[in-house]
Chains A and B, each alone.
Chain A
Amino acid sequence: DAMVIQNPRYQVTQFGKPVTLSCSQTLNHNVMYWYQQKSSQAPKLLFHYYDKDFNNEADTPDNFQSRRPNTSFCFLDIRSPGLGDAAMYLCATSRGGTSVQEIQYFGPGTRLLVL
């Protein structure tokens, strides 16, 4: 049973054309994350939500935005994709809390191609 779902699995967009990637979860976790992973590189955290609190990484470009309308869904918006934004985008969740060390649960990823 899929717990973290990402749609679509593959996304093709044109240079400069806004694109939205979506993620949903059935785990009822408090925290949702977006990572960018380029070929043979480490997944790089872009931002995360703890409930409705948005936490942006310092080096995440302004071109990347995120929305979390409810516990289950989180969206990644790329306002003006450039060729360098072609990558795998991974969504993850974790329970969130102060008394337990976190484990992240990942979706299968969306591979973005920018033409």
Chain B
Amino acid sequence: DQQVKQNSPSLSVQEGRISILNCDYTNSMFDYFLWYKKYPAEGPTFLISISSIKDKNEDGRFTVFLNKSAKHLSLHIVPSQPGDSAVYFCAASGDNYGQNFVFGPGTRLSVLP
């Protein structure tokens, strides 16, 4: 039973446009969410996070939005660049120490020049 879902296995976007990656979760106890980016032959690297006390967090070109009532979060990348082409994982945690993370299956983003 997948607690964290990323229903789009892949997404293609033109360079300079907005990329929107979506993530849905089922466990209402989750209160901390992260996005990781993964390039081929590398481990995932942390991108941005959001706590359930917020509905938006921004870091440069990356913004994460959280809709708790819908159990949905999204990552916006504006403007998209070819170097953003990677697999993006959504992860969620519900314990105080944030050590038990549940990951989604990832979305492969391709930014076309």
Chain A residues within CB distance 8 Å of chain B: 4, 31, 33, 35, 40-45, 48, 50, 55, 90, 92, 94, 96-98, 101-109
Kindly supply a per-residue 1/0 record for chain B positions 87-98, scoring 1 wherever the CB is within 8 Å of any chain A CB and 0 otherwise: 001000100111
B97 in contact with A107 (CB, 8 Å): no
In the complex the two chains form, what is the Cα distance from A41 to B43 in whole Å? 15
B65 within 8 A of A: no
In the complex the two chains form, what is the Cα distance from A101 to B49 in whole Å? 9
Between-chain CB contacts (< 8 Å), 24 pairs: A33-B99, A40-B106, A42-B105, A43-B44, A43-B89, A43-B103, A45-B101, A48-B99, A50-B97, A55-B99, A96-B99, A98-B96, A98-B97, A101-B32, A101-B51, A103-B34, A103-B46, A103-B49, A104-B46, A105-B45, A106-B43, A106-B45, A108-B41, A108-B43
Tell me the minimal C-beta distance from B49 to chain A in angstroms. 7
Kindly supply a per-residue 1/0 record for chain B positions 51-75, scoring 1 wherever the CB is within 8 Å of any chain A CB and 0 otherwise: 1000000000000000000000000
In-complex Cβ contact of B43 among A4, A40, A96, A101 (8 A): A4
B9 within 8 A of A: yes
Which single residue of chain B is at the shortest CB-CB distance from A41? B105
Known interface pairs A42-B2, A92-B43, A108-B42. Does A101 touch B103 (Cβ–Cβ under 8 Å)? no
Which single residue of chain B is at the shortest CB-CB distance from A31? B99
In the complex the two chains form, what is the Cα distance from A31 to B97 in whole Å? 11
Contacts of A41 in B (CB 8 A): 105
In the complex the two chains form, what is the Cα distance from A96 to B95 in whole Å? 12
A105 in contact with B105 (CB, 8 Å): no
In the complex the two chains form, what is the Cα distance from A40 to B4 in whole Å? 14
B100 within 8 A of A: yes
Tell me the minimal C-beta distance from B85 to chain A in angstroms. 17
Contacts of A42 in B (CB 8 A): 2, 4, 89, 102-106
Tell me the minimal C-beta distance from B34 to chain A in angstroms. 7
Contacts of A55 in B (CB 8 A): 99
B44 in contact with A106 (CB, 8 Å): yes
